[in-house]
């Protein structure tokens, strides 16, 4: 007989869904058979739809060896930390993602990801224990493309993760990006439209707001510094669609420099003679928390920033003959 206690991260979760995560190596049919014969909650038989609460005691009427085999405990492969910490408290950590690092794993890289690096950091700091939190892992609530740098929000517990996700859906977080575009932008642009993504090409197309195709998008572009051929801009991402900034600015006539997917090929070739850069330049540099409900109400009014990476300096000097943002310069 083995007993485990439900933690706050598994509060308000169905028994069967909890067991699917806890007994990760067990077939689904075995889990439902165990609920009928080998498991009790607080000393009583429970149905698969029983809602768990923090403090509930789940009793397994099997051996420790059987439980360990079904739980499938695996040794973690640690990854060298590459991120910076912009903000951290007991519920949330906001990190600065470097260039070239995936937020989540894919077919080319499953281990050395931002998500794994953050989890490793939290384990070392004692903020997270896989031994006690078998069914919950601290996770990011949004993502950035591999070549986009900047801020990524993580929930350190399930309540924070759910709340952060809701805040992003309900405009509780304002997100600002910095980039350099082709063209002289002298006035603020308030762009609306529809965005449709072709999954086969992994490319999005912008349509008029009245078009039935695509999902609504809204992007606000504010010039920070305007040159004769290029402009450094601050972009507020009101909606958060995949490739939204790159596609929306290209459709407005101001593509990101060196963007091989959405940019202008002839302009990119000319840029190669000026700068040693071959992909889009995009940095998620600032977040503003405008509406944070419990348990994250302490975040209300918080502004979180991270500076642009060092390689921005050389690019700005080449295009504007001076450094406009970076190294603490706003």
For residue 145, indicate whether it is catalytic.
yes
DSSP percent split of the chain into helix, strand, coil, nearest 5? 25, 30, 45
Q: What's the full length of the chain, in residues?
A: 330
Q: In angstroms, rounded to a whole number, what is the distance separating the alpha carbons of residues 322 and 168?
A: 35
Q: In angstroms, rounded to a whole number, what is the distance separating the alpha carbons of residues 169 and 167?
A: 5
295's tokens = 């348990």
Of 120, 145, 229, 234, the active-site residue reads 145
Peptide bond into 295 cis (omega under 30): yes
Burial (CB < 10 A; 0-12, 13-18, 19+), residue 228, is exposed
Q: In angstroms, rounded to a whole number, what is the distance separating the alpha carbons of residues 104 and 115?
A: 6
- List the catalytic residues: 145
């Amino acid at each position: 007989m083995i007993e485990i206690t439900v933690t706050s991260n598994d509060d308000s979760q169905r028994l069967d869904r909890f067991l699917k995560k806890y007994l990760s190596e067990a077939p689904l049919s075995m889990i439902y058979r165990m609920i009928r014969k080998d498991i009790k909650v607080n000393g009583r038989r429970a149905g698969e739809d029983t809602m768990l609460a923090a403090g509930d005691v789940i009793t397994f009427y099997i051996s420790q060896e059987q439980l360990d085999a079904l739980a499938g405990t695996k040794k973690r492969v640690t990854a060298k930390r590459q991120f910076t910490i912009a903000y951290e408290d007991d519920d949330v950590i906001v990190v600065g993602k470097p260039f070239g690092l995936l937020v989540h794993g894919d077919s080319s890289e499953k281990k050395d990801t931002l998500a794994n690096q953050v989890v490793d950091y939290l384990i070392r700091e004692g903020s997270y224990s896989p031994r006690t939190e078998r069914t919950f892992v601290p996770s990011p609530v949004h993502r950035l493309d591999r070549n986009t740098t900047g801020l990524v929000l993580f929930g350190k517990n399930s309540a924070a993760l759910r709340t952060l996700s809701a805040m992003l859906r309900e405009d509780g977080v304002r997100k600002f990006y910095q980039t350099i575009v082709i063209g002289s932008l002298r006035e603020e642009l308030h762009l609306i439209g529809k965005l449709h993504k072709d999954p086969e090409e992994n490319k999005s197309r912008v349509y008029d707001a009245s078009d039935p195709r695509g999902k609504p998008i809204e992007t606000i572009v504010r010039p920070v510094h305007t040159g004769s051929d290029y402009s450094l801009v601050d972009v507020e991402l009101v909606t958060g669609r995949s490739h939204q900034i790159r596609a929306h600015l290209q459709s407005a006539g101001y593509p990101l420099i060196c963007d091989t997917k959405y940019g202008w090929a002839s302009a990119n070739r000319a840029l190669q003679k000026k700068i040693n850069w071959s992909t889009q330049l995009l940095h998620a540099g600032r977040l503003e928390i405008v509406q944070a409900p419990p348990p994250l109400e302490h975040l209300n009014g918080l502004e979180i920033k991270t500076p642009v990476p060092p390689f921005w300096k050389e690019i700005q000097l080449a295009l504007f003959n001076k450094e406009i943002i970076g190294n603490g310069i706003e």
